[in-house]
Every structure is written in structure tokens, then in C-alpha cells.
């Protein structure tokens, strides 16, 4: 048995040390990682993947800590991937192992991993999606992805998470309007954290107004709206009142008020996540969501692999610099070069089509 086969066997057997090593192998793109990830697919599909994003200072890390703690109290295992800003020197995660997540320290059934955003669009790299697969195959019931919260490009989280919670701090005011066309549109659940602070009620009202204005416009990640609920951490709320009918065709983004530092509203938030999961399954959206995710993975891998192959071919032809100099000298042009480089690829594809025929 090879070392990688043994590593995979240990991961599937529930050994956290193996899970950590597999994720490191994935993140570092070490030799053999692709074969390892390929083997993971057959063991995935059971975990709920929840994305938590929002502007800096909204309290994401504290809330994620409380979410993990509450899931554990319910007997479920949790994996947390914290996407941190990349170090300009090493490319690694700046915030290390997330010392802010203190409530679950020492609990082996809460596996926390910080990963570098590596400057990728939306703060999520292909390695993050692969790490999710590793945690899923390991057997984690819930996988929470916390993103940098750097701006509108956080929409990339939609490609990885089943349910996306967007945190909006109280008193956001004009910020809500500014972000309306970007990060807010990916929300399956809105969370007004720090709801005990001034401005929380106004923020809830602004979000409610925004959703009502967009009624039927498909703003939420689940697609469309049918009603609107505000779940207040300080009021009584029966989760049964907010469960979607089995034949529901739309999902309305609920607004949940929380005070993460005190754990208030966390149970309500978990119920909202469960409702959205049920909606995805009942409506058929989940199957479509997974299909779209795999389609994007295929496109991404094809782009990366073709790019690498073409770079090798360009290097064999003397490198891009020599070709650029030829263009500068007026001997050729970029379009002709691209056609020449791609000609063998097109020939191979045509040969494949003939063979298939």
C-alpha cells in the first residue's frame, strides 16, 4: 500500500491527523494530491456546507465559534475552514489557527483549519473546495466556511457552500445600499449580529425593505422569494412557522438577529439553516446546485490544465518574451501566435471527435 493510499484509508477511518495531512497536501498542491482528491469524491455528499461572510468587524469568527459549539451540543461533528488574508511573504494564512475560536478548543470533533486566500477572486481558492471534500469524506456533519469578508467578490462562496449567511452589523445604513448589488445578493440568510447595539432595528428594517423591493427578483441564493420573516433573538419564535412547504418553489431570505458573544439567537440561526437545507432538497435546488458546482470545477480544472500545457509549449518555443519581441519587431502579432500555439490542440480535439464517431 502506498503512502497516499494509507493516508486516504486513515482519513476515512476518522483519524484527524490524516485529515490535517490531506488538507496540507491539498493546500500545498503536493505531488499526488489530485489522485487523492479524486478518491474523495466517492465518499462525499453527506455534509451540510455553510458559508459565513460579511464585512470586517461584523463578528464572523465569534459567531462561527458559537455555531460550532451549538452543533456539538446537539451531537454533530463540525469542520471549520477559516479563509484568512494571505501573508505577502509566505502566502500562508496570516491569522494562523484562529485563536479567537476559544469555545471548542480541545474538542476533537471540531476540526478548525485556517487557509490562505492566496489572492484568489472572492477569497476562495480551488484548494478550499478540495478541503471541504476532505472534511466531508472524513464524516463531518457540518462544514462551516468563514471568509475574509473583503468585498463583493465574496460571491465565490456560493460555488462552495449550500447555504450562505451574510452578516450585517447594526447601523450599516448606506453600506447596505452600496453592497446591494454585490455581497448581499448571495445571502440565503441575513444575520444582524451584535443586535443589542444601537441601530440594529434600523438595519433589520432596511434589510426587510430591500428584500420586499426585490420581491420575486431572485435575490437570494436559493432563488426568488415568497414571504419575509425576521427572527429576533429577543422575541419568541416558533421555527415551525418558518418551515417551507414541501411544494414551495421559492425561498425568502430570513433575517436573524444574534448576539454571538452571549450565544443569543444562535439556535434560531441553526433552525434557519435547517429550513434552507430542507427547501433545497424539497425544491430540487440542491441537486441543481451540486450539478452547477461540479460543472464549475470541471471548467476550472480544464482552464488550469490547458493553461499549464500551453505555458510549457510556449517555453519550448522560446518563451513568451521572445514571442513578444517578435511582435514588437513587427514580425507577427498576438492573434497569429495564439492560433499557432492552439493549432495542435484543435487537431487533437478533432481527432478525438473522429475516434468517437
pLDDT the model gives residue 14: 93
Percent of the chain with pLDDT over 70: 73
- pLDDT above 90: residue 106: no
Burial 22-36 (b: 16+ CB within 10 A, else e): bbebbbeeeeebeeb
Q: Could you count the other beta carbons within 10 Å of the beta carbon of residue 219?
A: 21
Residue with cell 507577427: 332
pLDDT the model gives residue 27: 87
Q: Residue 91: what are its φ and ψ, rounded to 5°?
A: 80, 0
3-state secondary structure of 73: helix
| 251-286 pLDDT, tens digit each | 889 999 999 999 999 999 999 999 999 999 999 999
**What are the E-state strand segments in the chain?**
48-54, 78-84, 110-116, 142-146, 163-167, 189-192, 230-231, 255-257
Give the angle subtended at the CA of 119 by the CAs of 18 and 321, to the nearest 5°. Answer: 110
Lowest average pLDDT, out of 36-45, 49-58, 75-84, goes to: 49-58
Segment 214-229 shows an average pLDDT of 45
pLDDT the model gives residue 262: 92
Percent of the chain with pLDDT over 90: 42
- Residue 346 C-alpha from the chain's centroid: 34
- pLDDT above 60: residue 146: yes
Question: pLDDT higher for 74 or 106?
Answer: 74
Segment 296-305 shows an average pLDDT of 86
> What CA–CA distance (Å, rounded) separates 215 from 208?
10
- pLDDT above 60: residue 90: no
Question: pLDDT higher for 178 or 144?
Answer: 144
- pLDDT above 90: residue 174: no
pLDDT the model gives residue 170: 87
Which cell is 148 given?
475574509
- pLDDT above 50: residue 219: no
Please give the model's pTM, rounded to 2 decimal places: 0.81
Which residues make beta-bridge pairs with 231? 256
- pLDDT above 60: residue 220: no
β-strands 230-231, 189-192: how paired? unpaired
pLDDT the model gives residue 94: 44
Arithmetic mean of pLDDT over the chain = 80
pLDDT the model gives residue 57: 79
Question: pLDDT higher for 157 or 135?
Answer: 135
pLDDT the model gives residue 115: 83
- pLDDT above 60: residue 235: no
- pLDDT above 80: residue 36: yes
Segment 222-248 shows an average pLDDT of 47
Cβ(276)–Cβ(188) below 8 Å: yes
| 318-355 pLDDT, tens digit each | 788 988 999 999 999 999 988 988 888 888 888 876 65
- pLDDT above 50: residue 223: no
Sign of the dihedral defined by the CA atoms of residues 207, 120, 127, 65, in that order: negative
**What domains can be seen in the chain, in order of their start residue?**
44-284 (3.40.50.300), 294-356 (no CATH)
Q: Could you count the other beta carbons within 10 Å of the beta carbon of residue 302?
A: 10
β-strands 189-192, 48-54: how paired? unpaired
Q: Residue 75: what are its φ and ψ, rounded to 5°?
A: 85, 15
pLDDT band at 238 (very low <50, low <70, confident <90, very high): low
- pLDDT above 80: residue 39: yes
Residue with cell 425568502: 252
pLDDT the model gives residue 20: 94
Amino acid at each position: 500500500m502506498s503512502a497516499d493510499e494509507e493516508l486516504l484509508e486513515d482519513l476515512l477511518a476518522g483519524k484527524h491527523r490524516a485529515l490535517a495531512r490531506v488538507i496540507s497536501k491539498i493546500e500545498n498542491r503536493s505531488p499526488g494530491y489530485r489522485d487523492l482528491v479524486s478518491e474523495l469524491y466517492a465518499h462525499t455528499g453527506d455534509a451540510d456546507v455553510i458559508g459565513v461572510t460579511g464585512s470586517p468587524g461584523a463578528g464572523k469568527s465569534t459567531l462561527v465559534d458559537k455555531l460550532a459549539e451549538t452543533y456539538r451540543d446537539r451531537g454533530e461533528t463540525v469542520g471549520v475552514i477559516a479563509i484568512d488574508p494571505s501573508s505577502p511573504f509566505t502566502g500562508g494564512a496570516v491569522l494562523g489557527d484562529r485563536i479567537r475560536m476559544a469555545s471548542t478548543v480541545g474538542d476533537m470533533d471540531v476540526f478548525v483549519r485556517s487557509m490562505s486566500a492566496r489572492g484568489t477572486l472572492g477569497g476562495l481558492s480551488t484548494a478550499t473546495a478540495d478541503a471541504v471534500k476532505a472534511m466531508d469524506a472524513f464524516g463531518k456533519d457540518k462544514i462551516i466556511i468563514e471568509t475574509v469578508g473583503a468585498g463583493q467578490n465574496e460571491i465565490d462562496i456560493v460555488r462552495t457552500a449550500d447555504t450562505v449567511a451574510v452578516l450585517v452589523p447594526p447601523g450599516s445604513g448606506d453600506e447596505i445600499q452600496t453592497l446591494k448589488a454585490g455581497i448581499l445578493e448571495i445571502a440565503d440568510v441575513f444575520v444582524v449580529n451584535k443586535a443589542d447595539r444601537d441601530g440594529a432595528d434600523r438595519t433589520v428594517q432596511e434589510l426587510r425593505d430591500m428584500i420586499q423591493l426585490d420581491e420575486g427578483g431572485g435575490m437570494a441564493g436559493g432563488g426568488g422569494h415568497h414571504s419575509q420573516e425576521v427572527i429576533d433573538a429577543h422575541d419568541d419564535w416558533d421555527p415551525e412557522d418558518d418551515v417551507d412547504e414541501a411544494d414551495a418553489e421559492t425561498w425568502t431570505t430570513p433575517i436573524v438577529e444574534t448576539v454571538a458573544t452571549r450565544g443569543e439567537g444562535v439556535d434560531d440561526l441553526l433552525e434557519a439553516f435547517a429550513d434552507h437545507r430542507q427547501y433545497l432538497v424539497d425544491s430540487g435546488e440542491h441537486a441543481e446546485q451540486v450539478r452547477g458546482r461540479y460543472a464549475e470545477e470541471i471548467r476550472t480544472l480544464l482552464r488550469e490544465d490547458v493553461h499549464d500545457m500551453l505555458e510549457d509549449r510556449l517555453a519550448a518555443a522560446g518563451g513568451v518574451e521572445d514571442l513578444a519581441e517578435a511582435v514588437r519587431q513587427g514580425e507577427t502579432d498576438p492573434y497569429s501566435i495564439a492560433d499557432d500555439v492552439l493549432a495542435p490542440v484543435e487537431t487533437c480535439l478533432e481527432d478525438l471527435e473522429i475516434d468517437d464517431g
